[in-house]
Structure formats: structure tokens, C-alpha cells
Amino acid sequence: MGEKKTARVVVMASLTVIGLISMPAPIVAHHRAATSYDQSNTITVKGKVTDFYWKNPHSTLFVDVTDGPFKGRNYAVELNSPGAMIRLGWTNRQFQVGDEVVINVHPSKTGAAVGECLSCAVIVNGKKTKPQ
């Protein structure tokens, strides 16, 4: 009886260690994505919404840029997760294809047409909207 209990403890301890070792990698990898954006710089993206994905881990807004250095390109804006956006007062109908938007983003450090806006004001069809 003592050997079974010891074996069970060893198995449980091994599974716990394996779980602890394997869990931080995806968590750290996901949150390191924030280092992809220049947090000390903000640019304004103006254009028409071409798509809006309300999904985890981050919602994404796509905009055909009509002004500025990315004019003529489709710009991707990483937003908060749907859960965080709901808590801030946003909905899955926040952006519709064809909406005119003006959004300030932290641009990609690589110069790609990608930025992030996790808690910012956005002008949609002339009306300022900001998470509450």
C-alpha cells in the first residue's frame, strides 16, 4: 500500500513540475508581442474600415489608409481582447466595414503597416468614441 501512495505522489509531483515548466513559455511569448510596438511613439491612422475581427487573444481592426505615410495601404490595428473591450464599453459592432475612422496607434518598430491601440480614443464617422 505504501508503494502505491509513493508512486502516486511521484507521478503527481512530476506532472506538476512539467505543467509549471511548460506553461510560462506561451504566456511570455504572447505578451512579448507588445514589445513589437514603439510605445514612445504615436501615429494617427485615418481611413475606411475594411474588416474587424472580434476574437481572442486580441481583436483586430483593418483600415485602408487615406492619409499620411501609409496612404494606399491596409493597416492592421491590434486591439484588446473582446472581454476587455466589453468591460470598457465596446461591442462587437464597434466598427463596420466602410466606417471612416481616425485612430492613434503605437506603430510597429519594423515600420510595417501594423500598430496597437489597447485603450485609446477612436473617431468613427466623425464621432469620438473611447472605452469608458
What is the pairing mode between strands 114-116 and 74-78? parallel
Note the pLDDT tens digit of each residue in 2-19: 665 554 544 444 444 444
Note the pLDDT tens digit of each residue in 27-62: 444 454 457 899 999 999 999 999 999 999 999 999
Is residue 101 a contact partner of residue 63, using CB atoms and an 8 Å limit?
A: yes
Mean pLDDT, all residues of the chain:
81
Say which residue the cell 500500500 belongs to.
1
Q: Give the helix, strand, coil percentages of the chain, each rounded to 5.
A: 30, 35, 35
Is residue 1 a contact partner of residue 83, using CB atoms and an 8 Å limit?
A: no
* Residue 7, H or E segment: helix 2-22
